Structures are given as C-alpha cells and as structure tokens.
Structure 1
Amino acid sequence: MKNYIAVDIGASSGRLILGQLINGEIKLEEMHRFSNGFKKENGHDRWDIDKLIQEIFIGLEKIKKTGIEAATIGIDTWAVDYVLVGDNGQKLQNPISYRDSRTVNSIEELTSQYPKEYIYEKTGIQFLDFNTLYQLYEEDEKLLEQTDRIMMIPDYIGYILTGNAVTEVTNASTTQMMNLRKGLFDDDLLGEVNVSEEQFPKLADPGTMLGKISHKWCKQYDLPKCEVITVATHDTASAVVGTPGSGNDWAFLSSGTWSLLGRELKTPENGKLAFQENYTNEWGAYGTYRFLKNIMGLWMVQSIRSEQNKKYSFAEMAALAEKEEPFQQYINVNDERFSNPESMINEIQAYCRETGQKVPQTTGELVSAVYCNLALYYADALNQLVKITKKPINKLNIVGGGSNVDILNQLTSSLAKIKVIAGPDEATAIGNIVVQMISEHELSDVDSARKVIAQSFNLKEYDPNKDYGKILEDYKTFILEKEK
C-alpha cells in the first residue's frame, strides 16, 4: 500500500494529512496540526516561514512513529506571497503577508503607467491589491538587488526540503505576471517591478517530481523515506482537483478563509465582460484554467470569533445565526474595509450605521449578516459567471470548511436557484493527494479521480426551498447605488 502525505498550510493553520487508496476509496487521517498567522516584524505583517518548516518535520517524525517508513509528499499553501533568497541560498527576510497594508494604493500607481485593460489582456488575472505584482512594486529595491531567486511560499518550502527549486504554475499564475499566450513570465510587467525572469526558478507543472528530502534533514530528524512531488501548490488549485464535479454544467466554490467561486475551463476567458466583473484566469492542473472570482469568505466569521476569544465554536455560531431573521442588512462583503480591520465587529457595525441599516449587535445577528451577504454575493457571481462563459450552470459544488455550514449552503441554493452539492470539506488535501496518486499511477487521470472522490466521502445536497428573487435584486440595487 502506498502512502501519500499532504502538507496543507493555510493562513490560520497547517496540517499533515495521510492519504491511502484502500479498496477503491481514498482514506484520510490527520497526523499533525499546527497554528499559523502573521505577526508584525520590522514594520510589516510577516509569516514565520521557519516555524512552518519546523512543524513539517515534527509531523513527519510523528508519521514515522506510526510505522510508516516511506511516502510521497505534496505541499500546498496560499498564493501570491513569496520569499526572497540570496545567492547563498538563504532567505533575506521573513515573507510579508498579503494582508499587509503596503500595497493599498499600488494598483492605482502602477496602472497609471500600464492601463488595467492592457495588464488584463496579457495576464487574465483579476486586480487585487495584494497580487505579487503589486507586492514587488512596493518591495525594497536594495533587497531586490541582493535577490538571487524569488520563490512562492510552497516552492520555497519544497526547496528547503529537497534543495531543488521550481516555480509551480498554478501558484505562479496568481502573481499577475504570467503571460496567458506565451505561458511564461511577461517581460514588460517584470521590468516594471524591477525583477527578471532569471530570478524565478524554472516553471513546473503539477505532478513533477521535485526530489527526495535532503540527507541533512534525515540526519537531523527521524523521518520516513520521502520524495516530494510538486502538486498543484496553490491551495485553491488543489481544492478544485479535489472537487467531485461531473459533466460540463457545474461550478465550484472553495469555501474557507476566502471564497473562490468559478468554473474549470479548457481555454482562458479574458474578454471585456470578464475584465469588467474582475474574474480571473488562474492556471489549474492538467492544462485547465480556474476561471473564478475572489470573495471575502469566512475570514469575517473567523475574525468575529477571534475577537470574542473563541467563545463559540463555528458550529455554535452558525446555530445562533439560524435563529435570526435573515437579510436584515445588505453588506458588500468584498469591500476592502473588511480585509484586515482592527475590529471586524466594529467595521460591520460601522458599515451598517453609515448606510442607515439595522446594526447587528449579538453574535447571531453578526454571523447571520455575514452568511446572508456571502450567499447574496455568491448568487450574483454565479449569474455573472453564466453570462461571461455563455454556458449554463446547474450544479454548484461547495468544498472546504464552508461546506459544513448548512445555513450558508441552503441560502446559496435558494438565492441562486441551483442544486448545491456540499463536500468534501478536505478537498484541498484530497486534491493534493490525488495529484500524487496520478503521478504514482494509482489513479489514471482527474476524471477517474473525481469519481473515486465522490464514492469516498459523504456529500450533502441542497435544493432551493424559497424564492429569494426580490431579495437578490434589492441587494444588487443597494450595492450598486452605494458604490457610485
């Protein structure tokens, strides 16, 4: 029996998950979990990348103690952030988080020289002020002069483990510096941020063998024999691989700290309407594109919970929200003010106060406001998606932690008038493991893998139970008026 380890690290936590194919079904077991988060250091919000790598070794030692002597490993993390590495192979500083405020006005400054339409035609990537393009635009020029290689977070972790460096394409595409037509970094955009293509390790597709864990780590730690496989290193790309969609009429919603809603395409869509609605063409595994929209996601609920010292579990917060009358206020959840406020609760209340709406006070009211407006945003985005791609959507597959939130899934189904299939919640780790299984020839391709996923995990279905058409139209009118 072959063993596969998914190293899956998000903005708030990381895990090592063991995967095996047993009697035609994928079995998962979480072997190690650890916390993650950025902290203020030298004037910026930064990730403690060394701690994350140390936690991987701790997890691998735990796995070895269970009797597992050999395995393959895949690494996925969030996108856009990077590590600057000097010519001695050492990082120059801890990486800055995408939620740092340094890029607040960067889009406006850079696009005063390169129009947005020009950048979108080249890259097909949506405009978000934390994209790597704008982070590098604000980067310390002296540090860039000292930089030998620029590595995305999962690529850097793989480099530390094996000594081999690549730039995996699903994550590289999120930089907003990859040229859709050439399949390479765009020289014009790189020049604008004072970096060169030579500073990025060679591009690699998901399924590429990266190498064995370096001998020095095996001497320092009691590790199983491991070979690292470059999977779809952007966690959303792995989540889409792990989504049990079937046919040609489904969309996906990866629902976690961020909500990523879109559909899988064989060719990119970077026309005028896609540009206007700020949809993105991130590269997917096996020659696909993730045509999607970034939506704020459960970050807002996570922040409320943290402010309340984790008084309630997420399940308890959802239960409190279900007791409230829905749609008491309209909130643009994608407003930048909710990206990283000092207090999420105060920011939501201030938004409602400023717009003359009922101000949520209790935990149930606050969470209900978030869930209702997330569902409204999802429904509106699905309508946009159909218009842009000119193809019907009859099923929405929701994966990730949000697939467990019944109230949010039901609201989404009813508002969008669409069947919702929820699960699995561990789609990212599953997609990570599936790429490893395909590389090891235990699964033949993504289509067959998705059939196995559907058979391996419990999925829950939701059908529309109310007509919220008027609510959705009122929401769109309100948001449009406010944005003028």
Structure 2
Amino acid sequence: MTYHIAVDIGASSGRLVLGQLVDGSLTLAEIHRFSNGFTERDGSCFWEMDYLFDEIIKGLHLAKVKGIHECTLGIDTWGVDYVLLDAGGERISEVYAYRDRRTDGVMEEVAKQLPPHQVYAKTGIQQLTFNTLYQLYAHNREELESAEQILLVPDYLYYRLGGRKMNEVTNASTTQLLNLAARDFDAELLAFLGLRREQFAPLTEPGEELGFITPELRAEYDLPECRLICAATHDTASAVLGAPLPEGRSSAYISSGTWSLLGVELDHPINDSRAMAANYTNEWGAYGTYRFLKNIMGLWLIQEVRRLDGGRYSFAELAEQAGACEGFRSLIPCNHPRFLNPDDMIEEIRQACRESGQPVPQTAGELARCIFDSLAMSYHTYLAELEELTGQRIQVLQIVGGGANNGLLCQLTADVTGREVLAGPTESTALGNLAVQMIEAGRVSDIHEARRIIADSFAVRSYLPQPVPQLAELLVRWERLHR
C-alpha cells in the first residue's frame, strides 16, 4: 500500500495525517484536525472518548472522499489513562484524565505499603502522581472488579475500529505495572491492586498487524479499507522514532509539546538508585529500545496562560512579545506539582514569583518570558543529570514537536545548556507513527533508514549557543528556587 495514515492525538488536539513515500522522500498532508481536552463534571476530569472516535471516523471518511481507498493506519495518544470494559466490550465508566485530582496524596499512601525503591527496581518508571498504578488504586473498587478488560486509550481506539483487544508495550510501560525483567505485567503489583493478569490484554509490539477496520464501520461511514498496524502508541515513543537523531554525535532529544520529555534512546534500562533519586523513567520504546527520560511540565504552562488570557495572542505572538521582554527577570520551578493543574495558571505563576521575592510578571509577554526562561533552565539542570546518569557527554539536543517552532525557546536552550540545538521536525510524532507503518508494509527496511529519510525530507534548524554573562548567578538563583 502506498498510503499511510497516522492518527495522532495529544492532550490539546488531534489530527489524521497522510504520509506517502515518493521517490525516496516522505511527504505529509493533514487530512483532518480537531480539538481535544478533558471536561470537568462534578469535580472530576474526563476525556470524551466517543468524540475522539467520531473525529477519527470523520477523518477517515474525508480520506475516502479524497480518493484514498486503501491504506495502513496507526494510532498514538498520550499515556497512563485507561478504559474499563465489561464482558460485552462496552465502557463501564467515563475515562478519567490524568490531571484529575483524585490521585492527590495517593502516591504517598501507596508508598507506605509498597516501598518505592522496590517498585522502581521492578518497573524503572518514575514516580508521578498520575501514573496508572496510582489511578487504579484510587478507582472505584466495584468498577475495577467488574472490568473484564483494561485497555489504555489508544488500545481502546484500535479496538473500536477493528475489534482486537491488546496492550501495546510503549504505552503499557507508562502504567508503572510492567516488570522489566519478566517483560510482562508484574504479578505483585497487580495483586496489590486486586487485579488479575487476564484483565489486561496480551502485550503487543509496534509493527504488529492488527487486522482491518470492521466491514460494518466501512459500510456505515464510507471509509477506506484500512489495515491496522500497531504503532508505537505512546506519543513520545512515536516522537522519538520520528526524531532524526544525528548519526556519529552523542545526542539527546526533547519532545516538546504539552510536556517536555528530555532523554536519550538506550538499548537497556537504567533502574538503579541514582536514576530513581533523580526521578528518571525507563519507558519502553520500539525495536528493543528504552526511553530514558525526564518529564518536565512543558508548554502546558503557556497553553494555560493563553487560554486564561482569552486566546488574544497566538503562540507565535506570545513568543515575539516574550523576546521583547527582559530575560531571566523571573523564574519558576516548572516541575513543582502546583503547576500540574491549578485553578488559575496565571495567578499561580505570579504567586510563585511573589513567594520567592522576584518581580511579578504582569503582561502576557512577561508571563511567556518567565515560562520560556524557566523551561530553558530546567533543560540545563536535567541535561546535567542525564549526562551523569548515563555517563554520556551530550553534544547535540534535538528538539522535536511543537516547541521546535519556538525560536526563542530553542535559542535560550542552546544558550543555557551550551549545546547546539537542532530544531525539528515539528511533526515528529506523526512521522514516527508513519515510520512503523512503512517498515511493516515493506516500504522501508528499518528505523535507521526511516530516520535518514525523515532527515532528508524535512527542514531542521540549527541554533548555536551564545554566551550568557549572568549564567553563574542564574544557576545560584535557580538552585535557591528548588530548595
């Protein structure tokens, strides 16, 4: 098949992207784009799963209208969130969003019963309040016990399209329930939650064929004949696959979107006490790799500022206004839990600056500059940790995803870290999704060839570091904020 469609859904938007390999070059065309976001009802946060499925169907119908009668199809979304199904394959409950506050305090409660160092030694997954382990612990026991199957969000969307139940490994690893040694769900952790292994579907690797979209869906909605290919369903896993990491140079990536994920691609996990103390994670990747990375709050901060400001300015305009403001005037510890889902992000940022005795940002540009400066300082800190934990000296930072479009943030990152930053491609998540499809379809031999094609097909901009005269003073200020 010559047509490949990536369904790429993030926390704030989703799209269907058509990929074609023409004369050795990969081209992309957006078929359909739609918004996404959790809704709040009765004090809880939920994803609109039927809406997401309907938007996929709309996009596939548009593909058929455009003359695409046959294609392969892969899906990627965010991690950790899950769907409970009954014996008839129907949802038992609404799907909680990971920013829901029901897990407040749960991580600490679980730690009293399960020593965190033992959980990390088993799973290699960092301690985050929204990990599936803690979400399931907080979930209604009656609903859990009645669940015939527990699927993660992309697994569920594949199931709705083709009828096959699975747990894809790159996303399943984010649950903090997979045992690195056994390469399966950990029996002790499942027993702690009162769950059975058979409540989870078989683990499935990226690249496995999952059958076709059901004839009923094709007939009802006039859809193409889509051969379903298991993508690396965690969006970061796909983003890393789509990152054209430079060969011959030691490189790290930052997948920059709602979250900033800073890490390296390894062929083995690092789940020792030092990695645990630094709260680095070992998410499973495609083709026998691991994503050894740090979660950083990311562009969620500016997304919330823009939303609360009524959307008066585009992200490009906010970056332009930030560039006109004084640099490093105010800084915030981006990864503090207070910024995970505050009632008012603007006020939370301002209050953090008041508490630390810094100038309080007032304008949209000052708020944006505070965020971008703080993200760049975060990258400096965590890059140093990454080098120490891996024993690698990182020469190049490859920024992919939406943040690659932010020239100010890319330059700040280069300046503060003292490393060359390669920015792009923006569409790395869709590209990684498509790469797996093309490998399985025999269009590309392996991920190395896929990355070379991506590097040749899409522009990547280089940012070289410029001196930051006050860097030593900044690092002292930054250190003080984290005490």
TM-score, with length taken from structure 2: 0.98
- Per the TM alignment, residue 123 of structure 1 is displaced from its structure 2 partner at its CA by 0.5
- Whether 1:215 and 2:215 are equivalent positions in the alignment is yes
1:353 — aligned with what? 354
Q: What is the letter of the counterpart of residue 291 of structure 2?
A: R
Output the amino acid matched with 2:111. Answer: T
Tell me how far apart the structure 1 counterparts of residues 43 and 368 of structure 2 sit (CA, whole Å): 32
CA-CA distance at 1:193 after TM superposition: 1.4
Q: Name the amino acid aligned to 1:211.
A: G
Take 2:299 and 2:195, find their aligned partners in 1: how far apart are those partners? 34
Q: Aligned partners of 2:75 and 2:248: how far apart in 1? A: 29
Q: What are the superposed Cα offsets for residues 117-139 of structure 1, whole Å, 9 maximum, x if unpaired?
A: 11111100000000000000001
Counterpart contact for 2:331–2:371, Cα < 8 Å? no
Partner of 2:371: 370
Structure 1 residue 232: Cα displacement: 0.1
Structure 1 residue 355 displacement after superposition: 1.3
* Corresponding position of 2:447: 446
Given the alignment, which residue of 465, 469, 472 partners 1:470? 472
Matched residues in 1 for 2:316 and 2:369: separation?
A: 13
The correspondence of residues 196-235 of structure 1 with structure 2, limited to 5 A, is 196-235=196-235
Q: Report if the CA contact (8 A) 1:419-1:461 is conserved.
A: yes
Secondary structure in structure 2 of the residue aligned to 1:227:
strand
Map 1:46-445 onto structure 2 (within 5 A). Answer: 46-245=46-245, 246-247=247-248, 249-445=250-446
CA distance in 2, matches of 1:248, 1:391: 11
Q: 1:357 to 1:476 in 2, by over 3 A?
A: closer
Amino acid paired to 1:473: L
Report the Cα offset of residue 447 of structure 1: 1.0
Counterpart CA distance in 1 for 2:20 and 2:219 is: 27
Provide the rounded CA distance (Å) in 2 between the counterparts of 1:472 and 1:116. Answer: 33
Structure 2 portions without partners, runs of 5+: none
Distance in 1 between residues matched to 2:331 and 2:48, nearest whole Å: 37
Match of 1:45 in 2: 45
**Equivalent position SS for 1:441:** coil
CA apart distance, 1:233: 0.1
Q: What is the alpha-carbon distance in structure 1 between the residues aligned to residue 474 and residue 265 of structure 2?
A: 25
Task: Specify whether residues 250 and 472 from structure 1 end up closer, same or farther in structure 2 by C-alpha distance, changes over 3 A only.
Answer: farther
* Counterpart secondary structure, 1:327: coil
3-state SS of 1:231 partner = coil
TM-aligned CA deviation for residue 94 of structure 1: 1.8
Contact 2:83 2:156 in 1 (8 A): yes
Give the match's secondary structure for 1:71: strand
What is the rounded CA distance, in whole Å, between the counterparts of 1:420 and 1:358 in structure 2? 29
Q: Are the counterparts in 2 of residues 236 and 428 from structure 1 also a CA contact under 8 Å?
A: yes
Segments of 5+ residues of structure 1 without an aligned counterpart are none
Deviations for 1:146-180, whole angstroms, at most 9, x for unmatched residues? 10000000000000100001100000000001011
Secondary structure of the residue that 2:287 maps to in structure 1? Answer: coil
Partners of 1:368 and 1:41 in 2: CA distance: 33
Structure 1 residues 134 and 388: alpha-carbon distance in aligned structure 2, compared to 1, 3 A threshold: same
Deviation of 1:42 (Å): 5.0
Count, aligned residues:
481
AA at the equivalent of 1:33: R
**After superposition, what is the alpha-carbon deviation per residue over 1:435-476, rounded to whole angstroms, capped at 9, x for unaligned?**
000001111111111111110001000111113531452244
Contact 2:356 2:481 in 1 (8 A): no
Higher alpha-carbon deviation: 327-336 or 317-326 = 327-336
Query: Which stretch has the larger CA shift, 286-295 or 109-118?
Result: 109-118
- Could you tell me how far 1:41 is from its partner in structure 2? 3.0
* CA apart distance, 1:194: 1.6
Deviations 1:227-250 (A, max 9, x none): 110110000000000000023511
The answer as to whether partners of 1:158 and 1:164 remain within 8 angstroms in 2 is: yes
Task: Show CA shifts across 1:42-75 (max 9, x none).
Answer: 5421011011001101000101011111100000
